[in-house]
Structure 1
């Protein structure tokens, strides 16, 4: 049965998004810009500024959002959308968004107690899907801002009307963030081999963004 999250009317400047979203997004971009090795004779003063994730601006923003996360200070959708627009300028933006989504889901999983994680892995298949759906409502609900969220366990579907990722990115690449969240959540709850797909997007003319999980067997 589908369930819709209840939200009071809010605007794009109303604090409604966990600061973990922008923090992890910027940290992911930074990590992908770190050189694996330094070439002999490389002029770091010349090469590093071209790596946006290693810039002083991103460093300061990461520090800011770490403090915001420590204080649990919600961010506005507009603030997060501005950062999304920064990332979509990059040719590897899809990879950054999906990896950031996976990291957010892993962070949420690691915050659960060890007993809770073990219990989730031992559940029967049907109960795993319901537990994963509850986790998706909780985790994505913190990331969705002003969007209307619906989650159902069978078939596993996540639906966002007014997703801030598609609002910020007319091309739809930023929605890979939620694809990463959904896919990682399913892995954590021990789902059989699966494939999370972004089957509908407002950037492609749909009335809402939708993710389906196709489970093998």
Structure 2
């Protein structure tokens, strides 16, 4: 039986698809049904799935890793797969950030840095564990996210799914502390290195 994961993971992937497929034209312009269904992210099927996962997130329900892997494979077939994965990672970070209490969010921004950074790292650890199946640790002046089994890489071809974690990690740190340096992907299971590790400077 597939292990359960937070429903925010598949919701984020579908929201990434929808964001990339959303038209850039005038939002008042009406789309005909045929054109809408040619864009996967605007199809009735995807919108119904988004509603289902959004309700599961609202209820605190979980889903299976199989559903996440199936969505990652679907995205991986797109020529803009990396763009979609990055959009999805940023969406997940934004939604996960909202689960942090207001007092903690304000404390990270208002406290002196030597007090705020450990608080931000603690929240990053919690979010990585809950949503990404990963572990965040301090490494000198950096924070490192390590994910033994990135779900967005299962069955994908060239490691584009790594962009989901990279973008999510960077966006989460930006939201927490108001800035984020570039994220370095220093180890990758897609390259046969056993697991994925991302590092971001966190002085």
Aligned length: 199
Q: Distance in 1 between matches of 2:163 and 2:72?
A: 11
Q: In the alignment, which residue of structure 1 is the partner of 2:131?
A: 143
Structure 1 pair 144–204 and aligned structure 2 pair: CA distance change class (3 A): same
Q: Tell me the distance in 1 between the aligned counterparts of 2:63 and 2:130.
A: 10
TM-score by length of 2: 0.86
Cα shift at 1:130: 2.7
What is the CA distance between 1:191 and its match in structure 2?
A: 6.0
Which ranges of structure 1 fall in alignment gaps of 5 or more residues? 1-10
Give per-residue Cα distances to partners, 1:90-129, cap 9 Å, x unaligned: 1222122112212211222223333321111123334444
State which drifts further: 105-114 or 19-28: 105-114
Residue segments in structure 2 that go unaligned for 5+ positions in a row: none
Partner Cα distance (1:108, 1:199) in 2: 24
State whether residues 86 and 164 of structure 2, in contact with CA within 8 Å, keep that contact through their aligned partners in structure 1. Answer: yes
CA contact (8 A) 1:130 1:153 kept: no
2:18 aligned counterpart, secondary structure = helix
Query: 3-state SS of the aligned residue for 1:169?
Result: coil
The residue number in structure 1 matching 2:111 is 123
Q: Which residue is equivalent to 1:201?
A: 188
Kept in 2, the 8 Å contact 1:165–1:175? The answer is yes
The 10-residue stretch of structure 1 (45-54 or 82-91) with the greater mean CA deviation from structure 2: 45-54
1:152 pairs with 2:137: yes
RMSD: 2.4
- SS of the equivalent of 2:154 reads helix
- The aligned counterpart of 2:75 is 87
- Determine whether 1:174 maps to 2:164: no
Say if 1:81 and 1:164, in contact at 8 Å, map to a contact too.
Answer: yes
Residues of 1 paired with 2:153 and 2:168: CA distance?
Answer: 16
Q: Residues of 1 paired with 2:61 and 2:31: CA distance?
A: 39
Contact 2:120–2:177, Cα closer than 8 Å, also in 1: no
TM-superposed deviation, 1:132 = 3.0
Whole-angstrom distance in 1 between the partners of 2:159 and 2:31? 36
- Displacement of 1:85 after TM fit? 0.8
Give the structure-1-normalised TM-score: 0.81
Contact 1:128 1:191 in 2 (8 A): no
Indicate whether 1:14 and 2:6 are aligned: no
Once residues 192 and 34 of structure 1 are traced to their aligned partners in structure 2, the CA distance between those partners, rounded to angstroms, is 28
